[in-house]
Amino acid sequence: MSTKIRDLLDTVRQVERKWQKKVEVPQLYTPWMPSDVAQYLVLLIEAVAEAPGEKFLEIGCGPGTKMLLARDALADMLDVSGFDRVPEYVEAARELGLDAVLCDAFDYPAYNRADIVFFNRPFRDRETQRDLERMVYARMRRGSVVICMNLENKPPSDKFLVITDDWEEGRRGVWLKL
């Protein structure tokens, strides 16, 4: 393994440990938590192979570790941005040199500009999470790709093509919007 990749994984691990359960959030939201890096990278590679361009957007970016992986593990192939509603997370992501803004997922105006949209369950409340998923799926543009982890619903099969479906194991996958 190259030193660059090893250093990247070490940075991700350190940031995730630093922020795990650090910020209290209202009951409606899921507290930021680390997710499986290996699974995420597999899904990301599948998404990049299908995406029409390089614009990557993370919904609920937390301190930025998945954005960092998207940017650096793929040798700067992606133009990475993200947002979170927690100011401390946005600041932490910015400290990593990432393009992160403060925004609520329901207020974000530009889902249709992303080639790849990633999210890992921003809401604890099931109905609110379902509403967000439906909204994002509807606002994405044709040809874009979504990477989902720990969500409530798969993208609708009449509007999305399955690229990787690992729903039964981990409620995750990659879908292309038709």
CA angle 28, 31, 32 (to 5 degrees): 140
- Residues 83/101, Cβ–Cβ less than 8 Å: yes
CB count within 10 Å of CB 31 equals: 15
Sheet (strand 55-59) strand order: 99-102, 79-84, 55-59, 116-120, 145-149, 172-177, 160-166
pLDDT: which is higher, 126 or 67: 67
- Residues 60/151, Cβ–Cβ less than 8 Å: no
**Number of independent structural domains in the chain:** 1
pLDDT confidence bin for 161, thresholds 50/70/90: very high
Strands (E), the chain: 55-59, 79-84, 99-102, 116-120, 145-149, 160-166, 172-177
151, burial (CB in 10 Å: exposed 0-12, middle 13-18, buried 19+):
buried
Give the CATH number, domain containing residue 135: 3.40.50.150
CB count within 10 Å of CB 77 equals: 14
What is d(CA 165, CA 1) in angstroms, rounded to the nearest whole number? 28
Domain that holds residue 100: 3-177
**pLDDT tens string 54-112:** 999 999 999 999 999 999 998 778 999 999 999 999 999 999 999 999 999 999 999 99
Percent of the residues in the chain that have a pLDDT greater than 70, as a whole number: 92
Q: Is the pLDDT of residue 171 over 90?
A: no
What is d(CA 39, CA 57) in angstroms, rounded to the nearest whole number? 18
